[in-house]
Amino acid sequence: MRYKKVLTIQDISCVGKCSLTVALPIISACGIETCVLPSAVLSTHTAGFSGYTFRDLTEDMPGICNHWEKEGIFFDAIYTGYLGSTRQVAMVEDIFSRVSGENCLHIVDPAMADNGKLYPGFDDAFVEAMKGLCRKADYLVPNITESCLLTGIPYQETYDRAYIDRILAALSDLGCKNVILTGISYAPETTGVVVYEDGSCRYYEHPLRSNSCHGTGDVYASAFVGALVRGKTAFEAASIAADYTLACIDETAKVENHWYGAAFEPALGKLIALLEN
């Protein structure tokens, strides 16, 4: 297998187990060279901490890309997570066009909303900008809230398969080639992911844990990217990422006062084993 190179573009929360501090070790554990383009640096993530520091790196991003282009550095996959502004979204679209290698995969996690509402600091203009980036994605990895914002479909906490099919059809109409729709639960005791690829759907179901962890969306997307670039099919990668995320939640439950993020490190061995099957 050729040694492949992934670029991931998102912020660094120095403490908190999300974004780049999750993506870098997880994708690396998959045996993939992992390069980073930080969009901002925060002392901690913003959920549950107060008084955190924040440094916006928007002004640095074009120069970094210029240097890569000058040096002839190109990537086999580019994976985007949390982006802090509409300007950064536009920059990422430009980066796609400039440093993508031959047959480069573009994976977009439109990290902007959950539980029926946008994250603080985002607005309708950001959603519109994200639509443009999503059209350029080979694989889109949204939750239901993000999917509803992208398509204009009203958000529902309870739903059936017809509702999910409607969302997937609308994302396809938007121009999204393939979709990994996360957090889909048709029964109280289970949840799973829907893989929409080449016009067909497959559902991977697994047990639903009562305890939740901050950053599991980033854990999932990073594991999916690593498995996909490693050579797994989209459904295999989606299933591996789900099993790994579940293992991370179980590990977190063993650790006292670990409210700020998923204990993903103890489960990395399981991820590696899943990739070898």
Angstrom distance (rounded) from CA 273 to CA 54: 37
Angstrom distance (rounded) from CA 194 to CA 60: 37
Listed in sequence order, the residues at least 6 apart from 6 whose beta carbon sits closer than 8 Å to its beta carbon are 27, 32, 33, 34, 35, 75, 76, 77, 78, 79, 225, 226, 229
Write the DSSP symbol of residue 199.
T
Q: Domains in the chain, start-ordered, CATH in brackets?
A: 5-272 (3.40.1190.20)
Listed in sequence order, the residues at least 6 apart from 33 whose beta carbon sits closer than 8 Å to its beta carbon are 3, 4, 5, 6
Half-sphere exposure of 116 (CA within 13 A, CB side): 5
Phi, psi of 9 (to 5 degrees): -115, 110
Global pTM reads 0.96
- pLDDT for residue 1: 60
Angstrom distance (rounded) from CA 101 to CA 118: 33
Tens of pLDDT, residue by residue over 7-22, are 999 999 999 999 999 9
Two structure tokens written together for 50: 């107060």
**What is the mean pLDDT for each group of 10 consecutive residues in the chain (277 residues)?**
91 94 98 97 90 94 97 98 95 97 97 93 95 97 98 96 97 95 94 94 92 89 98 98 96 91 96 95
Task: Tell me the pairing of strands 179-181 and 75-80.
Answer: unpaired
